[in-house]
Amino acid sequence: MKHTLFLFDLDDTLLDFKASEQLSFVRTLEALGLREGIDTLFPQYQAINIALWREFELGAVSKDFLKVERFRRTFAQNGLELDAASASHLYLESLSDTVVLIDGARQVCEALCAIGEVGIITNGVEHIQTRRIASSGLKDHISFVSTSEACGYAKPDSRFFDYAAKMARAFAHHETVIVGDRLDADILGANRFGIDSCWFNPAQLANESEAVPTCEVGSLHEILPALKKLAAA
């Protein structure tokens, strides 16, 4: 095996964030007293949330602003007199309890930690991500968790990847690979930092970006064979 350090994105790579997100959103609005129309609100919230995360990754907004603003905009857009700060708190608390593993997550982490070191690289909220990892059952296979919140820079900024590399027991560019679902954050970040990358692409999306993955898989079960093939090339 060529690689000894395996850096995994968390949401929508190891954990099914979309499933957790929707369940937490429903629970949050129900706790605030809303009983109807939540299914209609959720796609609007998602679009607003994605746009704000893009702004955060560009350094245009802070994470604290994002966490509340996504609810404020959703409520304002629909004429709802609900408290955005309360919604943010309830939602983040719920996320910790609504963990859904993507198929193969436990198996791949267990296999790779026997070969080398597995680390998590995430732009998510640090204390929430730490709790979600603990709830997921993956903690025993993970050596460290690198968050943009602790670092001060977000993927795909090379300073974030430098921060993550320093958390590893040992680091060498040619022995490190990033596994992630996002071309614009995970794969582009790997390209800029000069390390290999594996694009987790279960939806078989076309790559129309500037990011160039070293390899691509449609299932987490395909990662180990794909990395072994790279080592043999």
Annotated catalytic sites, by residue?
A: 9
- The answer to whether the CB of 196 falls within 8 A of the CB of 213 is no
Q: Within a 10 A sphere around the Cβ of 102, how many other Cβ atoms? A: 20
Residue 36 β-bridge partners: none
- The answer to whether the CB of 223 falls within 8 A of the CB of 179 is yes
How far is Cα of residue 139 from the mean position of the Cα atoms in its chain?
Answer: 16
Write the burial class of residue 61 (CB in 10 Å: 0-12 exposed, 13-18 middle, 19+ buried): middle
How far is Cα of residue 129 from the mean position of the Cα atoms in its chain?
Answer: 9
For the record, the structure tokens of 27 come out as 């629970």
H-helix or E-strand containing 91? Answer: helix 84-95
